[in-house]
Amino acid sequence: MRLFSMLLQPHTGRRPIRAHEGTVIAPASNQRWASDGLEIPCWNGEAVRVAFAIDTHDREIIAWVATSGGGISGEMIRDMMLDCVERRFDAIRAPQPVQWLADNGSAYTAADTTDFAAALNLVPCFTPVRSPESNGVCEAFVKTLKRDYARVNPRPDAISVLQQIPAWFEDYNEAHPHKGLRMRSPREFIRTQSQPAPWPV
């Protein structure tokens, strides 16, 4: 097939840096944010698709997007990236590079998305193909959201789910205990990190 030029053209998609294969949990906040998506089925057969960004140190869900029409688009991911930077730094560009860890979905790997990430001072990196455990912080959150929120609340249709999602994320950030945070919620953990150490007695 090569002799007769019958092979497909090789893939030329850009990857800003190599696949992420190291430790996912960051040693401090705002060093690595991870993003992933999930689908929440409704009782009437509809589905709500959600994408989120989580800090891999303090586990706070910084920003999220949801839709009942089609999939998560690159534009939605870019809006979420900007929302993360604005929420964490009160600016439109991160003051230092922040890793943005995601899978190889087209919304994340699109040239427009990686270029936009660079403009925000985010450094895109990608999990190896067919290796979701490489983004274990996201995988753990997906299980939590499905187990502790979606499965125990009514999901008659997409509109009902979309109306409930903001409260689910707020409760997770404010009140949901996390084993990796010594049974504190993400925001409780963040508050303890920002408090000065007590003076020795």
Give the residue extent of every domain in the chain.
32-191
The CATH number assigned to the domain with range 32-191 reads 3.30.420.10
What does pLDDT average to in each consecutive run of 10 residues of the chain (201 residues)?
64 46 78 96 97 97 95 96 98 97 94 97 85 77 96 97 98 94 94 68 51
Which pTM value belongs to this model?
0.84
- Predicted pLDDT at 6: 65
Asked if 80 and 64 count as a contact pair (C-beta separation under 8 A), the reply is yes
CB 125, CB 20: distance < 8 Å: yes
Q: What is the per-residue pLDDT for 195?
A: 63
Give the type of residue at 45: G
Question: Which alpha helices (H) appear in 74-157, and where do they start and end?
Answer: 74-89, 106-109, 111-119, 136-145
